[in-house]
Amino acid sequence: MYYNPLNPTGCNKNDTFTSEFHEGDGELQSSIYMVERGDCTFVTKTRNIAQAGGMMALVIDNTNENITNVIMSDDGTGAGIRIPSVLIGSKDGEILKNFMKTAAQD
C-alpha cells in the first residue's frame, strides 16, 4: 500500500503522481494506492491510479461520518476502469497513514 502526501487526493495526473508510486527501473512499488476523498470524483481518482499501474484504489473519507451512507457513484466516465475502489472511514485512514509514516522511518 502506498500514500503520496504530495498528491493526497490523487486528482493530479502528472509525473509526481505516477513517479511517486514506482521504485527504480519502473518496478511497481505497490499495487494498492491510498488517496483522500475530495477535489475530484471517485472515478478520476480511480482512473489516475489505474493509469499509474495500481490494482486498487483505497479512498479515505474526508469527514468523520458513517461511510455506509456514502455512495461512490460513477460520474458517467467510468466505463473503462477495471480496478476496484473502496471507501474507508477517516479514522481508519488516519491509522493507516500514521502506520505508514512510522514504518517509513524505521
Q: What is the pLDDT of residue 15?
A: 44
Q: What is the pLDDT of residue 21?
A: 46
Q: What is the pLDDT of residue 88?
A: 97
Alpha carbons 35 and 33: distance in angstroms, whole number:
7
**Contact status, residue 7 vs residue 20, Cβ threshold 8 Å:** yes
Among residues 95, 76, 81, 82, the alpha carbon closest in space to that of 34 is found at 95
Alpha carbons 7 and 106: distance in angstroms, whole number:
23
Low-confidence ranges of the chain (pLDDT < 50): 15-16, 18-24
